[in-house]
Structure 1
Amino acid sequence: MNAPLASAPGTASAASPVTLAPLPRPAREEFEAVTAHGAYMPLTQFGVIDATGDDAASFLHGQLTNDTQHLEAANVRLAGYCSAKGRLLASFLSWRSGETIRLLVSKDVQAAVQKRLSMFVLRAKAKLTDASGELAVVGLAGDVRKALSGVFDAVPDGVHVKVDGPAGALIRVPDALGRLRYLWVGPKAEVEARLPVLEGKLTHASAAVWDWLDIRAGEPRITQPVVEQFVPQMVNFDVLGGVNFRKGCYPGQEVVARSQYRGTIKRRTALANVAGELESVLAGAEVFHSDDPGQPCGMVVNAASAPDGGVDVLVEVKLAALETGTVHLGSAEGPALTFLPLPYALPAEV
């Protein structure tokens, strides 16, 4: 029988800072399981914030980059939370669970973001709580639909579509390498009771494989090292549906809108591979262009061990730096980045 899921780090105290240590490099078999058949991965790098109360949806609508006021029960939305300067403090997947709006967030920024959001509740009938201790998060990737049918009565077809059942919520998230991906978020006891159904059908893989799949899907995640570094468009949130440009005000909205409509988006997030290991290739590390070694041209957003060696990264970079020359990690003499195609197109910038 499967061992109980480990509690997510930091759940004992929502106020204590959490540091996410680099995950060990997975065995090659764990990567190959995703492409050969399917894998499931308990994910403790995430936390969950629950927003409850009559005004929960309207409160979050006035704080996040996406629409929570009209969030339907079967849909999930990517959203960001910005500073007044339009820089991302956090990224979320948001959805309804009954009357609750649930926010999936990187564990290392959860406490700070939950505290900051709570400061602005004021007279609204809304309350934010840390639900991480009660919930388990599991990622599934590859040929997993048949295995999931033993847990859920239905499996969602569309990306960012959700189905609910006694075991919690099952959410389809963007594919990676042409393979289906799902997030399963449910009460810990219910998830642990049903995980044995997946054993023998799917490979139990490391959470590090999920981080790699997120990168190959081109899905940036805001973690502590890159807090307040990026306007949403710099990490492609406008392309990924994480920003609603028709909704009302939220912190940083004027900066985000100005970037969109004045043609000032000169930086984007690209996919690349670089030699090294996660101990040296870290989120927040600067990258430099061969023709301009004196100042950085971008920053690593996310990094994960790659199956064929080195580290795959999502890197925010000046678009001009991709046209000629080479981009290097740490300094102009550091390892060169090999850029790979994203699984989606970026708009042509004026």
Structure 2
Amino acid sequence: MQIVDLSHYQFVRVSGADAIAFLQGQVSCNMQLLSSRRSLSGALCNLKGRVIADFRVLLRGEDCLLQTAPELAQLIVDTLAKYAVFSKVELQVLEKLPLILGCSGTDAAGLLAEKFGEVPAQDDGVTESAAISIIKISGVVDRFELWCPDEEKSGNLQSDPDMTVNAPWSSWLYEDICAGLVHIDAAHAGQYTPQLLNYDLSGVIDFKKGCYTGQEVVARMYYRGSPKKRTYLLRSATEIASASGVLQHIDGKQKPAELLAFANGIAEENPHSLLLTILDTQAVDRNALFTLSDQADLALQLLPLAYGEQTQIGT
């Protein structure tokens, strides 16, 4: 089992009598489905239907904890605060929890069950053990996140030799990309529509839940027809440099594509590098050639996304 330190994430605590009802009117996931046994993935959008931040929300007691990328927690609080005047809610940035670990591998479920008892079987499922929340994360292999807000319990877990961090953050990123999961960072907040990031396919958008900020634009873009661009998963046989870009070769011309995230292969089990890239759907339909900008002689392979076309919620 691989164990990764995920302490770089930030958190927002939304508390108060109106916490769930307030968030229901602001975010893309159906907060009425949130429970002690189920977490949710969602997005916070602006009035133009652009994604400010994506997050995972967990119910801890009566509080909602939103996990998000570094530097986005304060932006989430500032955005939500504009609409919180008439709701009984409190918004607070938590720079990090005392401990958050990512556990993955074909043996992860069994090993965690031996140590903690019950573990969730379904994606987004949650179980609790000694103040530790165990969350099932979608992926090609079994993945779980362990959230521990308690300082004492965190110390006990960190001193457990069976739970020692043994893999780099890049291995968790590799599995995120393999699962087709796109996470917004501070540099790209407010730039993309959910549809462009496949949030309408991966379960981040619930089309049945009703109104939320930006919902009208999001729904209109989804129902008006096929998008001209989407996020696709590509594989490279060579290592990707931080300065690399992606080119689409169409009708003898080169057109740049936007590279959202990449992770180079790790060890023998994952020798290939993976990329999440925004491509023209027409180029994909026409089986265009895709290459790295600095390795134009080597073709990138288009891979199927784990969620395909089957996980839309409420359509």
What TM-score comes out, normalization by structure 2 length?
0.86
Q: Does the aligned pair in 1 maintain the 2:7–2:97 contact within 8 Å? A: no
Correspondence 1:5-24 to 2 at 5 A: none
More off after superposition, 298-307 vs 334-343: 334-343
SS class of match (2:195): helix
Q: Is 2:111 the partner of 1:147?
A: yes
Q: Is 2:124 the partner of 1:165?
A: no
Q: C-alpha separation between the residues in 1 aligned to 2:160 and 2:175?
A: 23
Q: C-alpha separation between the residues in 1 aligned to 2:154 and 2:221?
A: 42
Q: Is 2:264 the partner of 1:305?
A: yes
Q: Does the aligned pair in 2 maintain the 1:289–1:332 contact within 8 Å? A: no
Q: C-alpha separation between the residues in 2 aligned to 1:48 and 1:80?
A: 14
SS class of match (2:139): strand
| 5+ long unaligned stretches in structure 2 | 311-315
Correspondence 1:22-41 to 2 at 5 A: 38-41=1-4
The equivalent residue for 1:291 is 250
More off after superposition, 144-153 vs 227-236: 144-153
- Residue 336 of structure 1: CA displacement? 4.7
Indicate how the Cα distance of structure 1 residues 70 and 149 shifts in structure 2: closer, same or farther if over 3 A, else same: closer
Q: C-alpha separation between the residues in 2 aligned to 1:113 and 1:90?
A: 7
The one-letter code of the counterpart of 1:43 is L
The one-letter code of the counterpart of 2:99 is A
Correspondence 1:121-140 to 2 at 5 A: 121-140=84-103
- Residue 304 of structure 1: CA displacement? 1.8
Correspondence 1:45-84 to 2 at 5 A: 45-84=8-47
- Residue 41 of structure 1: CA displacement? 0.6
Q: C-alpha separation between the residues in 2 aligned to 1:236 and 1:137?
A: 26
The equivalent residue for 1:227 is 189
- Residue 295 of structure 1: CA displacement? 5.0
The equivalent residue for 1:216 is 178
Q: C-alpha separation between the residues in 1 aligned to 2:242 and 2:299?
A: 17
The equivalent residue for 1:317 is 279
Q: Does the aligned pair in 1 maintain the 2:43–2:205 contact within 8 Å? A: yes
Q: C-alpha separation between the residues in 2 aligned to 1:316 and 1:294?
A: 15
Q: C-alpha separation between the residues in 1 aligned to 2:291 and 2:132?
A: 43
Q: C-alpha separation between the residues in 2 aligned to 1:268 and 1:198?
A: 43
Q: Is 2:44 the partner of 1:85?
A: no
CA distances 1:262-299 after superposition (whole Å, capped 9, x unpaired): 11423222111344445324xxx6x4321275754x42
1:114 corresponds to which of 49, 73, 77: 77
CA distances 1:228-285 after superposition (whole Å, capped 9, x unpaired): 232112222122211111222222111110122111423222111344445324xxx6
Q: C-alpha separation between the residues in 1 aligned to 2:115 and 2:305?
A: 32
Indicate how the Cα distance of structure 1 residues 108 and 277 shifts in structure 2: closer, same or farther if over 3 A, else same: farther
Q: Is 2:201 the partner of 1:242?
A: no
Q: C-alpha separation between the residues in 2 aligned to 1:337 and 1:64?
A: 35
SS class of match (1:233): coil
- Residue 332 of structure 1: CA displacement? 10
Q: Does the aligned pair in 2 maintain the 1:52–1:101 contact within 8 Å? A: yes
2:59 corresponds to which of 72, 75, 96: 96
The equivalent residue for 1:32 is none
Indicate how the Cα distance of structure 1 residues 266 and 163 shifts in structure 2: closer, same or farther if over 3 A, else same: same
Q: What CA RMSD, in Å, does the superposition of the two structures yield over aligned residues? A: 2.5
Q: C-alpha separation between the residues in 2 aligned to 1:195 and 1:278?
A: 34
- Residue 93 of structure 1: CA displacement? 1.0
Indicate how the Cα distance of structure 1 residues 295 and 252 shifts in structure 2: closer, same or farther if over 3 A, else same: farther
SS class of match (1:302): strand
Q: C-alpha separation between the residues in 1 aligned to 2:123 and 2:161?
A: 22
Indicate how the Cα distance of structure 1 residues 151 and 130 shifts in structure 2: closer, same or farther if over 3 A, else same: farther
The one-letter code of the counterpart of 1:191 is S
CA distances 1:24-82 after superposition (whole Å, capped 9, x unpaired): xxxxxxxxxxxxxx111111331111110111111111111111134222111110111
Identity rate of aligned residues, in percent?
26
- Residue 150 of structure 1: CA displacement? 4.8
More off after superposition, 133-142 vs 144-153: 144-153
The one-letter code of the counterpart of 1:52 is S
Q: Is 2:164 the partner of 1:205?
A: no
Q: C-alpha separation between the residues in 2 aligned to 1:196 and 1:147?
A: 17
| 5+ long unaligned stretches in structure 1 | 1-37
The one-letter code of the counterpart of 1:204 is N
Indicate how the Cα distance of structure 1 residues 334 and 194 shifts in structure 2: closer, same or farther if over 3 A, else same: same
Q: C-alpha separation between the residues in 1 aligned to 2:125 and 2:39?
A: 6
